[in-house]
Amino acid sequence: MKIHDVTIEDNFAEAFRMWACRLIVTAIDEHWLRIAASEVTGYGTSVIGCDAEAGIERWLEPDATPDGRPGVALLFFAFNAKALKTAMPNRLGQCLMTCPTTAVFDGMAHAVSPQSQSATPTQASKDFERFDFGNAIRYFGDGHQKSKVIQGVEGAEGTNAQRVWRIPVMDGEFTVSDTIDACKAIGGGNLLICGKDQRAALDAAAAAVKSIADMPNVITPFPGGVVRSGSKVGSRYKALFASTNDAYCPTLRGKVASQLSDDTGAVYEIVINGLTEEDIARAMYTCIASACESKNIVAIDAGNYGGKLGKFHFRLHDVMTNEGAA
Amino acid sequence: MTWMLTWKNASGPTPVDGSVLRPDQLGGLEHDAVCKTLMTIGRVTRPLGELFDITGEPCAGDPHQHELCLANLPRLDRLGAGMERGKLLITGDVGDDLGASMTGGLIRVNGNVGSRVGGPDFDSPRGMTGGEIVISGNAEHHVGHLMRRGMIIVGGTCGKSPGFRMLAGTIVIACGPLDHPGLEMQRGTVICLDGIGAESNGDHLCDAGSIAATAMPAIGMSVRRATHLLSSSSKVSYEGEACLWHGDRFELNKGEVIQWP
């Protein structure tokens, strides 16, 4: 298959079951909002070494946020709800409560996902888990904290009534949802952009990430959304379970069994985490379509582990033929 | 089901107690059953079909969507008392004890109301524990007496001590001044969208001074919800400084009275 002279390899991306939660963070203005978003999603590239994979889902207009201030929706992924239960209060306390003017709300009820359309996910449902969030850090208020059950307005996030904690801090109050919901999600959708040289591949990757900046329910957790150090399963060193993806390393051509064509000079990977398969397929389609518009791109490939590790497979040809639809 | 009940102004004694007119109890009934439901007037009971013109439209099965619209009423007390869900929409003036001990749903009054909105029903030590009450006009004394949760919004003025002995919850009054707001409150929030007139207000509040509106997003959310219910606008302004008082300092002192800019 070729799109605009770019070869779409007949390969598939292999993705995994993960659990995700969604936060809405608001602040007094865009400057502090960007700082808050950047801090709380920092050190959040891969659960191999970080406590969560985190990223910005999309920016929100003031009218669309629970408190009517400028906001941003963030997604966090981990292997299971228990891992999120530990990671999220830490990120909340260290990165969001400390940041001037922020308020933090549960964004899951309004996530544009078939799983979360019900009014309030119940504890008993196996697709959702609710855990302490603001409730875990309210004691910082040293007895002066207050809570309130507040309902939002239609059309904005936070329409359903939620309990928030109000913790007195030096610039006023830190407002945070009592609990947040985690839902089943998927991590590891990906595409490999093979370019004629490093500049071409890099620019194409950046443009592809930008093309899904406003897409709901997906994030690209790696730096700028792009991974340069794609990995393969296994290593010559017994201690490591993953190592560099030598088949795609341009400087190893001639030394190893390379997947690179002769005119490929560099490869970048975009990893996409999302709430459902439809969300990831839509994002992959948009990224690939964008990369095929970029100059000097040779091929689009995808990373997998033979299909045996992850239960979600995204065949590139299917994604492009269906235009990202299910 | 959406039922519309219009008072016929029939001859005979006028009822005082409107507590039978609940959307969560009448909303699920068929027309005949609604007509046969009895309303107490003094020592006698009369079926609603004799007292009201009753028309209705079916709506989605969700009981939270049941609506009861009342028009042309005499001044009834205890409307919406004990209500759990659904919407009670009243055109005209209402008596005392609106929404007494209600636990959920929405009551909307296009008119004025009497005393103890959202207060306790006669067999309860607590006022409302959930739901929202929206009044376009004025309220009389003790709005939110002993309320425990939920929101009361008054689009006009109110009488003595809104939030009297309130336990928690939120009261928003659009027009000031307020006479001893939050007297004997334990927790809870009384917000005035106008000048409170603090000078005349007695010793029960501790003045915390002024604070930027944007420093209290939870209060902004409450104001936004109140404005949305009163006027459908979903905008809230965080410009300016709010004035904050803690109260009641002779009780738990965890309540607050706020003048929103």
pLDDT in tens, B46-92: 999 999 999 988 776 777 789 999 999 999 999 999 999 999 999 99
Q: How far apart are CA B75 and CA B139, in angstroms?
A: 13
For A153, the closest of B132, B151, B224 (CB atoms) is: B224
Contacts of B228 in chain A (CB under 8 A): 153-154
For A103, the closest of B217, B228, B234 (CB atoms) is: B217
Which residue type is seen at A277? E
CA atoms within 13 A on the CB side of B175: 13
Measured between alpha carbons, how far is residue A55 from residues A43, A73, A80, A113, A220 in Å?
Answer: 10, 9, 17, 18, 6
- The pLDDT, as a whole number, for residue A67 is 93
Q: Are A18 and A79 in contact (CB under 8 A)?
A: yes
Residue A227, Cα to own-chain centre: how many angstroms? 13
Contacts of B222 in chain A (CB under 8 A): 148, 150
- Burial category of A254 from C-beta neighbours within 10 Å (exposed 0-12, middle 13-18, buried 19 and up): exposed
Contacts of A149 in chain B (CB under 8 A): 149
Chain A's closest residue to B104, CA to CA, is A161
- Strand A53-60 to strand A297-301: parallel, antiparallel, or no bridges (unpaired)? unpaired
Chain B's closest residue to A62, CA to CA, is B235
Q: Are A60 and A70 in contact (CB under 8 A)?
A: yes
3-state secondary structure chain A: CEECCEEECCCEEEEEEEEEEEEEEECCCHHHHHHHHHHHCCCCCCCCCCCCEEEEEEEECHHHCCCCCCEEEEEEEECCHHHHHHHHHHHHHHHHCCCCCCEEEECHHHCCCHHHCCCCCCCCCCCEEEEECHHHHHHHHCCCCEEEEECCCCCCCCCCCEEEEEEEECCEEEEEECEEEEEEEEEEEEEEEEECCHHHHHHHHHHHHHHCCCCCCEECCCHHHEECCCEEECCCCCCCCEEECHHHCHHHECCECCCCCCCCCEEEEEEEEECCHHHHHHHHHHHHHHHHHCCCEEEEECCCCCCCCCCEEEEHHHHHHCCCCC
> Which has the closest alpha carbon to A261: A217, A184, A201, A174?
A201
The conformational region for residue A141 under phi > 0 = left, psi -120 to 50 = alpha, else beta, is: alpha
The tokens of A34 are what? 């960007």
Q: Which of A105-119, A233-247, B112-126, B149-163 has the lowest mean pLDDT?
A: A105-119
Residues 180-239 of B with CB under 8 A from A: 187, 189, 211-212, 214-218, 220-222, 224-225, 228, 234-236, 238
> Which has the closest alpha carbon to B131: B92, B93, B162, B169?
B169
- The pLDDT, as a whole number, for residue A181 is 92
- The pLDDT, as a whole number, for residue B27 is 87
Whether ipTM exceeds 0.90: yes
- The pLDDT, as a whole number, for residue A120 is 44
- Nearest 5°: phi and psi at B13? -65, 150
Q: How far apart are CA A275 and CA A57, in angstroms?
A: 11
pTM for this one? Answer: 0.92
Residue A52, Cα to own-chain centre: how many angstroms? 10
Residue A68, Cα to own-chain centre: how many angstroms? 24
User: What are residue A55's DSSP bridge partners?
Assistant: A75
Distance from CA of B133 to the nearest CA of A (A): 13
Q: Which of B221, B225, B236 to mutate to test the interface with A (most CBs of A within 10 A)?
A: B221
Instruction: Report yes or no: B246 at the A interface, CB cutoff 8 Å.
Output: no
For A66, the closest of B187, B221, B235 (CB atoms) is: B221
Q: Are A312 and A186 in contact (CB under 8 A)?
A: yes
Confidence class for position A112, pLDDT limits 50, 70, 90: low
CA atoms within 13 A on the CB side of A5: 8
At a CB cut-off of 8 Å and minimum separation 6, what does B80 contact? B19, B21, B22, B88, B98, B99, B100, B102, B105, B107, B133
- The pLDDT, as a whole number, for residue B197 is 87
Q: Which of A277-291, B53-67, B106-120 has the lowest mean pLDDT?
A: B53-67
Q: Are B58 and B77 in contact (CB under 8 A)?
A: no
- Strand B170-173 to strand B189-192: parallel, antiparallel, or no bridges (unpaired)? parallel
Q: How far apart are CA A9 and CA A303, in angstroms?
A: 11
Instruction: Report yes or no: A25 at the B interface, CB cutoff 8 Å.
Output: no
- The pLDDT, as a whole number, for residue B198 is 72
> Which has the closest alpha carbon to A20: A129, A217, A183, A130?
A183
Residue B181's CB is within 10 A of a number of other CB atoms, namely 35
> Which has the closest alpha carbon to B67: B101, B92, B90, B35?
B90
Q: Are A232 and A242 in contact (CB under 8 A)?
A: yes
% of chain A beyond a pLDDT of 90: 83
Q: How far apart are CA A258 and CA A246, in angstroms?
A: 7
Contact A153 B234 (CB under 8 A): yes
Instruction: Report yes or no: A160 at the B interface, CB cutoff 8 Å.
Output: no
> Which has the closest alpha carbon to B19: B39, B34, B5?
B39
Q: What is the mean pLDDT of residues A302-318?
A: 92
What's the whole-number average pLDDT of chain A?
92
Contacts of A151 in chain B (CB under 8 A): 132, 151, 225
pLDDT in tens, A154-210: 777 777 788 999 999 999 999 999 999 999 999 999 999 999 999 999 999 999 999
Residues 71-130 of A with CB under 8 A from B: 101, 103
At a CB cut-off of 8 Å and minimum separation 6, what does B231 contact? none
Residue with tokens 């609506």: B67
Contacts of A30 in chain B (CB under 8 A): none
Contact B221 A173 (CB under 8 A): no
> Which has the closest alpha carbon to A44: A15, A20, A16, A65?
A20
DSSP per-residue letters across B157-204: ---B-TTTT--S-EEEESS---BSTTTT-SS-EEEESS---GGGS-SS
Q: How far apart are CA A119 and CA B57, in angstroms?
A: 25
The tokens of B35 are what? 């007509």
pLDDT in tens, A72-105: 999 999 999 999 999 999 999 999 999 999 999 9
Contacts of B254 in chain A (CB under 8 A): 146
Residues 118-137 of B with CB under 8 A from A: 132
Q: What is the DSSP letter of B15?
A: P
Contact B238 A69 (CB under 8 A): yes
Q: How far apart are CA A208 and CA B102, in angstroms?
A: 53
